[in-house]
Structure 1
Amino acid sequence: MEQHILYMVQGRFSGIKERIEGLLPTMEEKIDGRISSMEDKMKERMSAMEKKIKDMMSRCFPLVLTSTIKVPSTFGMFDINHISVVSPDKLWVSKWRKLQQVDGTGHVIRSLDDKYEYESKGGGHTVSVEGDLVFIARVRNSEQSTASYGLWSHKGIRKMTADGSITTLLAPDLPDLSPTCIHSSHINGDLLIGMYSYPGTGQVMRCDGTGRKIGDIELDEEGERLYKGPHYITENRINGDIVVSDRWKEALVVVDRSGRHRFDYTGHSTDTLFDPRGVCTDLLGRILVRHCDIDDDGNDVCFISLLDQDGRFLTRLLTEQDNESLSSLYVDDNYNIYVANTNIIKVFR
């Protein structure tokens, strides 16, 4: 009886084994097919990525002017000091105490309400991933509070949505510490805010997208102050570095996403001086900075320099005499470079 049962079990196992062996070639074909399909897709993606990178690399130099956007003369006598791009036909442009949205021809789409006074000589506005404008401004006080607090409140961080409604994200009651520049992270939506305190000390405050404070960045590992006067600020979307253009320090100050100091860039060895203004990064993590110097004849000259993400100089992208003063710049995902140039915006590729 036991021997009979043993034969039956062995027979069943033998049948299962034959079925498995019969299925193996089919399973192997299916697995091989899926792997081959995945490899093809990966190769296609890698090829597309490499093509895009090579295309972007080939556009490093020289830049080609593709269009110009003239800001209306009613905008005021001061030079454009910052631009934030929503799309090629929607740009926020600022001069001293003026902030307007223009289209690709320079036509004014929207102006900041008189209730708010835009307050920044540097990078005082930014566009979030959602397309909302986040900006630094004072609010006109009510008649009842004017006697006690003056006509305008302290500087605060405001947000304007697509329908034009404005809310206050952050209104720090810090008379000795004032926001000077701001950037909305395209990695996690955080707000990076450059702050200045007289005489000549600065810091960076990180808040979430609602204005809740996360922390401050002030000191390096040796306890030395990182900043003197943040003027423009941006974030490297590749590694999360925070890049600050600090005119008072005459340097780009770069820290990692946790606030640890990585490096200061103080210009190329051939630069007589380094006066940084607008700064941004591209899709490859490279840093573009606008700065001024003096040429051999003693004339002011402005540059846009390209650095790698570790602060190594790569090339000059643009050189202009100071009568065509360069201030702010922005690079979109298609590698269009928007350069604020006195009273016009030049678009290069």
Structure 2
Amino acid sequence: MDPRAQDILLCDLCQTAALQSHCELCHVNLCIGCVGKHLSDSSKRHKVVLYNYRTSTHNYPTCTIHTEKHCELYCEKCDIPICLICISSGKHKGHDISDIRQKRNYKAKDLQEELQELENRIDPFYKEIKSELNSEKISAEIHYEKLTTAVAKQGEDWHKEINTIVKKQKSEIDEMKSKHLDALNKQEKEIEKIISDVNQSILDLKKILDSSDVSLKPAYKSRNAQFKCFPPKVKVSLPSFSPFHINTDQLHAMFGSLSALSITMEEGGYTMITTEAVSCPPAKTLLVEPEITTIIRTFSLFLYSVTCQSDEEIWTRGEDKIMKLYNLQSRLLKSIQTKSGKEPCDMAVTTTGDLVYTDPNTRTVNIVKNKRIQEVIKLQGWKPYYVCSTSSNDILVTMVSDDYRQSKVVRYSGSTVKQTIQFDSESKPLYSFNHIKYISENRNLDICVADHGSGELVVVNQAGKLRFKYIGHPCIFNSFNPVGITTDSQSQILTVDLRNKCIHILDQDGQFLRYIDNCNLQNPWGLCVDTRDNLFVAERSEKKVMKIKYM
């Protein structure tokens, strides 16, 4: 049993002898034997008195400046305990000062409320989340087991069908082989019969020639003419097997596709009921009249692409082999020639600040690091055209097959393929076979493609599943003809409508919000936005980029 549970009070240091003294500085109870040991600590000016004469039972903190004093007060402005000497020094003049015991009582009340909230609300809520996660894990196990079973069954069905096809073709081969050999055997018997007749004629002739009977020679009937009429030769056109080339993409599409696993962290996904209202910062709103704030003059005859290096610098791509970096004062800062010496198609800046560009001529995607060009992706049978860098530093590339009969979007991590997006849920192509398809990733991780060939804005989610297609607003005069595309901090989608010389702005769900058509747009083409949601528009034939404030 703990001896302190008895009536005798024991020393705080040795916990065996009865206490006799008390240090008012350290608030420690001491026996006679431990007083000297306690006073040996010369870092403090101890104040040891008889236990019955102690003046205070409050455990006041020691002042950090005046170590021999206790802090009996609290400075509300500096949010620290202070002693009386601190007050007299004038350092806390004009500050609100309160009694530290009163501060302690208030704080104790707050702490008690925090404790109650932790015990009664927060802790049970986290336990509920943990229970929910366990349930989700069990559901995930069941779901993946079903997926595995479904894929295995599909494989068994395919094997069954393939085995049926193989068995049928083997049977056909056996039948053709039998007919072929029958024809050869039949002719072989005919030849054997003729050989027998020829041998008999040879024997007959030898017998006649050796005979002295003069009547045999005139009576002999020659069969050589008959034997010289050779039978028709069996001519066979041998069958052959022509296996179809296995197209992996088509094979996967025919077999069935797995939608990609999408794992996102949803802010506010867990909500605990509270009596306090939570306020969110207001969203940005669209200006009634967008305005041009800057015009960047370039030296390019035609401008097709623009992308932000920073809020103060932009890369441009024209109709030549040079990519150029300008500041907002139209000063040319840097020029980079493509590795192949051919015209690039599109470019983007990665999250690490490196320039990426596509070169359809060499079927490559290249990255510029420290002024050196490195080939990241090399394609066969496909040509890369348009590119964007994602928030996770992946690269999304639109590409078209060499025969212009297929089109797809591929996600790369470095040079590794992470995802291919080509068909919808009904195995129909998502995109046209036209090569002009500017691409951008939205803040909600949707993948947005301006499909110039089909006249559609095609938006899929992170897993590659079609969310919606936008074909223009009924109010536009000409048919929707998208080229450049970009997205902003509000997950709004902006795309150039070439024929109508305007820029459509949609929300993240494809709802039309407004046009930008009042900024003297002549031939808009490429788009990008900076971190402050300023819009940059490359005017294809005007040798300029316009910076537009629209939010």
TM-score (norm 2): 0.48
Amino acid at match of 2:510: G
Task: Letter of the 2:353 partner, please give it.
Answer: G
Q: Secondary structure at the match of 1:268?
A: coil
Partner of 2:509: 310
Instruction: Tell me which residue corresponds to 1:203.
Output: 408
Asked if the contact 2:295/2:545 (under 8 Å) is kept, the reply is: yes
Matched with 1:288 is 494
- Partners of 1:347 and 1:86 lie apart in 2 by 14
> Is 1:242 equivalent to 2:447 in the alignment?
yes
Shift of 1:32: 5.9
- Structure-2 change in CA distance of 1:158 and 1:329 (3 Å): same
Q: Tell me what 1:64 maps to.
A: 291
Distance of 2:351 and 2:438 partners within structure 1: 19
Asked whether 1:117 is paired with 2:341, we answer: yes
> Within 2, Cα distance between the matches of 1:178 and 1:266?
26
Aligned residue number for residue 333 of structure 1: 531
Gaps of 5+ in 2: 7-103, 118-275
CA contact (8 A) 2:311 2:531 kept: no
* Aligned counterparts of 1:266 and 1:258: Cα–Cα separation in 2: 22
Structure ranking higher on relative contact order (CA contacts 8 Å, 6+ apart): 1
* Alpha-carbon contact 1:273-1:292 (below 8 Å) kept: no
Cα distance in 2, alignment partners of residues 114 and 331 from structure 1: 24
Q: Which segments of 5 or more consecutive residues in structure 1 lack a partner in the other structure?
A: 10-22, 36-42, 139-152, 294-300
**2:545 matched to 1:345?**
yes
Give the drift of 1:28.
3.8
- Residue 99 of structure 1, CA deviation: 1.5
- SS of the residue corresponding to residue 289 of structure 2 reads coil
**Which SS does the other structure have where 2:408 is aligned?**
strand
Across the two proteins, how many residue pairs are aligned to each other? 289
**Contact 1:302–1:320, Cα closer than 8 Å, also in 2:** no
Superposed, 1:1-349 pairs within 5 Å as 26-30=107-111, 49-50=281-282, 53=283, 56-59=284-287, 61-72=288-299, 75=300, 77=301, 79-97=302-320, 98-113=322-337, 115-117=339-341, 119-121=343-345, 124-137=346-359, 154-161=362-369, 163-174=370-381, 177-186=382-391, 188-197=392-401, 198-208=403-413, 210-228=414-432, 229=434, 230-237=436-443, 239-271=444-476, 272-293=478-499, 301-319=500-518, 324-341=522-539, 342-349=542-549
How far the C-alpha of 1:109 sits from its partner, in A, is 1.8
Structure 1 residues 107 and 117, CA gap change in structure 2 (3 angstroms): same
The one-letter code of the counterpart of 1:165 is: R
Distance 1:67 1:214 in 2: 39
Seq. identity, %: 24
1:96 to partner: Cα distance: 2.0
Q: 1:46 to 1:190 in 2, by over 3 A?
A: farther
Residues 315-348 of structure 1 show CA distances to partners (whole Å, capped at 9, x for unaligned) of: 11225677x2000111112121111123101111
**Per-residue Cα deviation, 1:250-293 (whole angstroms, up to 9, x for no partner):** 11111001100111111001233011011111101011111133
Q: 1:32 to 1:231 in 2, by over 3 A?
A: same
Asked if the contact 1:200–1:248 (Cα under 8 Å) also holds between the matched residues in 2, the reply is: no
Instruction: Say which structure is richer in strand.
Output: 1
Cα RMSD between the aligned structures? 3.2
Contact 2:507 2:513 (8 Å CA) reproduced: yes
Partner SS for 1:57: coil
Structure number with greater Rg is 2
Distance 1:211 1:320, change over 3 A: same
Q: Secondary structure at the match of 2:353?
A: coil
Q: CA deviation at 1:172?
A: 1.4
Code of the aligned partner of 2:525: S
How far the C-alpha of 1:178 sits from its partner, in A, is 0.6
Q: Report the CA distance between 1:107 and its aligned residue.
A: 2.2
Query: Per-residue CA shift, 1:11-53, capped at 9, x if unaligned?
Result: xxxxxxxxxxxx9974442476899xxxxxxx9x956x32xx2
Amino acid at match of 1:288: L
Aligned to 1:142: none
CA contact (8 A) 1:82 1:327 kept: yes
User: What TM-score do the two structures reach when normalised by structure 1?
Assistant: 0.74
Deviates more, 1:283-292 or 1:163-172: 163-172
CA contact (8 A) 1:120 1:181 kept: no
Partner Cα separation in structure 2 for residue 232 and residue 250 of structure 1: 12
Higher helix fraction (1 or 2): 2
- Please tell me whether the aligned partners of residues 359 and 385 of structure 2 are also in contact (alpha carbons under 8 angstroms): no
The SS at the match of 2:110 is: helix
